[in-house]
Amino acid sequence: MIQHARLLFAAAFIAFAPHNARAASEIVIGQVAPFSGPLAPTGEHMRAGAQIYFDRINAEGGIHGAKLRLVTKDDGYKISETVRLTRELLAEHKPLALFGLVGTGNVAALLEARVLDEEGIPAVGIRTGATSLIEPPHRWLFIGRASYATEVEKMVQHMSATGIRRIAVFYQDDPFGEDGLRAAERAAQALGVELAAKAGYEKNTTKVENAVATLLAAAPQSIVMISNTAASSEFVRQYRAGGGDAQLMALSTTDGPQVVTRIGKETAHGLGIAQVVPDPSNRAMAIVREVQEVYRASSPAGIELNHTLVQGYIGAALLVEGLRRAGPNPTRRVLRDALESLHDLDLGGITVNFSPRNHTGIDYVDITILNRHGRILR
């Protein structure tokens, strides 16, 4: 029944799409992300998750006979480079879609520069959940993960349910961090939890000393961390070294295994982390079993099977399903409309619901914790 519906949907799009004499032999997907600098592991694992999925699809014959090719450029998590290199990639490679963009400010800059609008190109599987990029939905931007607000709300709810009444926020001083801070303020007010202090740090740095001092002085029971892996690691290290004993809980932008690598399992022990994709060791979910199988078959060098890789894999799966529904030789516009048709799509335990009014698509959030052995537990 599902396959029959897909065929009918694709046929409807083909009827109104421009026809070429023969099907395209290749579909180019572009990614501009950090492959150097503090967020290099994030970009690398997003890319790897997509690449192993694309390799699997290509081995099965591609999409309507066309093979997928992922081309990438390194923006180093620098906003000006994101815009410049995206324009450069679009001019050089003419991709059908963009994938795996990383960073709230980086993506916001692309929208402000009207790059997606001018090119009329969909961007899928985005590594940000900022409310400013989700509400209202941008016509070409398909996030494919829960919002930061949803993550923060679940974190504060978890804290409140365990009896915590006094919290603080550690955040990156940019649109990403401010978005999470506002979500924490709303959640705290709604739950009757006191927001005792807030302290920021400069983007693209690990200069957290002032924030550590502020939050040690405030002595909250728990701290919400709106930060990336490098800054989160340094904050945990300095905060614990300073005698801080608050419960620490980080947004999904913090990668647990990388934190353990940076500061050791003893210091990282007890760090809570929100996750927007399933635990890569949770074989109860079909999507995880699939990722494990493909990862083992690919064995990408220097790449761990972690939550970020799973996010890249799921984002690639969303894009591929859109391509299937768009039919042979799709235009960017046809692909966008096909993506908006992904209602009640089951990706092995993850439900996807895109529409013209919802480009978030997925609202999955889980709370995990690093145990004394440095492993992530639910």
**Running along the chain, 378 residues long, what does each successive block of 10 average in pLDDT?**
43 42 78 95 96 98 97 97 98 98 95 98 96 93 95 95 97 93 95 97 95 98 96 98 97 91 96 95 94 95 93 98 96 98 95 96 95 86
Q: Residue 320 and residue 316: Cα distance in Å, rounded?
A: 6
Looking at the fold, whether 246 and 156 belong to one and the same domain comes out as yes
Looking at the fold, whether 142 and 286 belong to one and the same domain comes out as yes
Looking at the fold, whether 141 and 154 belong to one and the same domain comes out as no
Helix (H, G, I), strand (E, B) or coil at 19: coil
pLDDT at 23: 55
Determine, yes or no, domain membership for 377: no
DSSP E strands: which ranges in the chain?
A: 26-33, 67-74, 97-99, 123-124, 141-142, 166-172, 194-201, 222-226, 247-250, 272-275, 345-346, 351-355, 358-361, 366-370, 376-377
Q: Residue 260 and residue 265: Cα distance in Å, rounded?
A: 5
Q: Are 276 and 151 in contact (CB under 8 A)?
A: yes
Q: Are 28 and 96 in contact (CB under 8 A)?
A: yes
Nearest Cα to Cα of residue 298 among 21, 107, 58: 58
**The tokens 């490098």 sit on which residue?**
230
Q: Are 131 and 123 in contact (CB under 8 A)?
A: no
Domain CATH code at residue 99:
3.40.50.2300
Strand order from edge to edge, sheet including 26-33: 67-74, 26-33, 97-99, 123-124, 141-142
Looking at the fold, whether 35 and 130 belong to one and the same domain comes out as yes
* Pairing, β 123-124 against β 166-172: unpaired
Q: Retrieve residue 173's tokens.
A: 């001083």
Number of domains in the chain: 2
Q: Which residues are within 8 A (CB) of 179 and not within 5 positions of it... i.e. 6 or more apart? A: 104, 130, 131, 132, 148, 149, 226
Q: Residue 128 and residue 100: Cα distance in Å, rounded?
A: 10
Determine, yes or no, domain membership for 156: yes
Looking at the fold, whether 217 and 327 belong to one and the same domain comes out as no
Q: Retrieve residue 206's tokens.
A: 């690990």
Pure H helices in 192-264: 209-218, 229-241, 256-263
Looking at the fold, whether 208 and 339 belong to one and the same domain comes out as no
Looking at the fold, whether 168 and 237 belong to one and the same domain comes out as yes
Looking at the fold, whether 131 and 210 belong to one and the same domain comes out as no
Residue 107: count of CB within 10 angstroms of its CB: 26
Nearest Cα to Cα of residue 232 among 273, 181, 276: 273
- Residue range(s) defining the domain that contains residue 154: 149-275
Q: Whats the size of the chain, residue-wise?
A: 378
pLDDT at 19: 38
Determine, yes or no, domain membership for 312: yes
* Pairing, β 141-142 against β 366-370: unpaired
Looking at the fold, whether 137 and 286 belong to one and the same domain comes out as yes
DSSP symbols for 107-150:
HHHHHHTTHHHHHT--EES-B---HHHHTTTPTTEE--S--HHH
Burial of 112 from C-beta contacts in 10 A (0-12 / 13-18 / 19+): exposed
- Rounded to the nearest angstrom, the gap between the alpha carbon of residue 11 and the centroid of all alpha carbons in its chain is 32
